[in-house]
Structure 1
Amino acid sequence: MVEVFKTNVQNHSDAERLVAELSKKNSILKINFDLNDCDNVLRIEAKKINPLEIIELMNSKGFQCEVIL
């Protein structure tokens, strides 16, 4: 399963910190940010994804995040 999010993450150090935090979730297989995309895309591949959980984690770290449909 793959979920794609629009974020306001601007730099690679923040992206790396968030990847480390998100990687703690057992079901996540692959995470990457595309900061060259106008939506600063966060793409997550996992066995099971709860988008609200990802959004809440991102918000708790001070970042905006929403699912791209």
Structure 2
Amino acid sequence: MVEVFKTNVQEADEAHSIIQRLLEHFPDYLINFDLEDCDKILRIKGEKIDSEKVCKIVGQTNADCSVL
């Protein structure tokens, strides 16, 4: 399963930090950002992705996150 999220993450360092935080909760997920995309895409691949929890964790970093 692949889930795609729209974010407002601008910097690679911020994206890396968010990925590390997400991997603490979801170590089996494959996670990446596409900061070149106008929607600053966060893409997660894994089984049974908990979109609400992902958005909550990203939100704790003061970044916006919503499912596309």
Q: TM-score, normalised by structure 1?
A: 0.91
Q: Which runs of 5+ in 1 are unaligned?
A: none
1:3 is paired with a residue of what secondary structure?
strand
Encode CA deviations 1:20-67: one digit per residue, 9 max, x unaligned. 111112464200000000000000001121100011111111000000
Aligned residues: 68
Q: Is the 8 A contact 1:10 1:40 kept in 2?
A: yes
Root-mean-square deviation (CA, aligned residues, Å) is 1.1
Q: TM-score, normalised by structure 2?
A: 0.93
Letter paired with 2:12: H
| Within-5 A mapping of 1:1-69 | 1-26=1-26, 28-68=28-68
Q: Which runs of 5+ in 2 are unaligned?
A: none
Q: Percent identity?
A: 40
Larger mean CA deviation between 58-67 and 18-27 belongs to: 18-27
Moved over 3 A (4+): none
Q: Is the 8 A contact 1:7 1:39 kept in 2?
A: yes
